Amino acid sequence: MLDLHCHILPGIDDGAKNLDISLELLKEEKRQGVQAIAFTPHFHPNRISLESFLRAREHSFNKLMSAPGVTDMGIKFKLAAEIYFSTKINDMELDELCYTDTNYLLIELPTDERPYGLTHTLRDVINRGYQPILAHVERYPYFTSDPTRLYDLVEIGCIVQINGGAILDGEKIVSKYIKWGMAQIISSDCHNLKNRTPNLKDAYGAVKKKYGDDYVDWFEKNARDVFTGRYVDMPVPKKPKKVIGMWL
């Protein structure tokens, strides 16, 4: 398994508060069988400059990598970021926010309302040669209430990530996104060891039980393709249709 979305780096965001917690989170990822991790601390373009963020991320990453035993854990590590959506991103240099040596960018959206300029900005990002991965799409009510809005973004080339927790909670919309071919990546989005923990082992167990081994293999392959910068081979998504008040 590979975890492409987590907040394990110490002291940089609302994830691991210190190095001890980071190390515990890494041990737990390892115990569950995770072989590769991309660190994705929050980056909010309206709150911090890109330069300051990159400096803080490097400092935190170096601190973790120099802790005893970390580089001997047998886990591959990469840097990335969870970028809070802003129309500003099209005026920014994005290379260093991508998963290292790839063109994949993890983008978080606001939870309250669909942001102004979303499709336009993401299309511009794609035209610049990047591929956006939309973080934890189960969280956005404007997609749940009208999944064709998410479909339109998949159609222009966005990849969709769902959190392991949403699978474990049996969120109905997640099953639908999977059924419609609109969700390609599962990640833990772990922050701590209390309520937002590493959970990929259980999440993949739930995928196996509910959808079968082929889906497990497919989700793992997609995560590997993103991590290594290969093309993610996506099925043509099925456009959701509203029938008697239900999205089918």
Contacts to Fe ion by CB under 5 A: 82, 189
In this chain, which residue has its C-beta nearest to Fe ion? 189
Distances (CA, A) of 65 to 39, 57, 98, 180, 209: 12, 12, 20, 40, 36
- In the bound complex, what is the minimum distance in angstroms from residue 13's beta carbon to Fe ion? 8
Going 18 to 24 to 28 to 34, the CA torsion angle's sign is positive
Structure-block tokens of residue 35: 């072989």
Q: Tokens 């989700």 appear where? A: 219
- In the bound complex, what is the minimum distance in angstroms from residue 241's beta carbon to Fe ion? 31
Q: Which run of H or of E encompasses 166? A: helix 164-168
Residue (29 or 82) nearer to Fe ion, CB: 82
- In the bound complex, what is the minimum distance in angstroms from residue 7's beta carbon to Fe ion? 6
CA distance 42 to 53: 9
Residue (189 or 225) nearer to Fe ion, CB: 189
- In the bound complex, what is the minimum distance in angstroms from residue 189's beta carbon to Fe ion? 4
Residue 196 identity: R
Asked whether 141 and 111 are in contact (CB, 8 A), the reply is yes
Residue (105 or 151) nearer to Fe ion, CB: 105
- In the bound complex, what is the minimum distance in angstroms from residue 136's beta carbon to Fe ion? 7
Residue (11 or 181) nearer to Fe ion, CB: 11
- In the bound complex, what is the minimum distance in angstroms from residue 62's beta carbon to Fe ion? 21
Residue (28 or 82) nearer to Fe ion, CB: 82
Q: Tokens 């190390």 appear where? A: 23
CA 106 to chain centre: 6
- In the bound complex, what is the minimum distance in angstroms from residue 190's beta carbon to Fe ion? 9
Distances (CA, A) of 176 to 46, 138, 198: 33, 10, 24
Residue (138 or 189) nearer to Fe ion, CB: 189
Sequential DSSP letters for 124-158: HHHHTT-EEEE--GGG-HHHHS-THHHHHHHHTT-
Residue (3 or 189) nearer to Fe ion, CB: 189
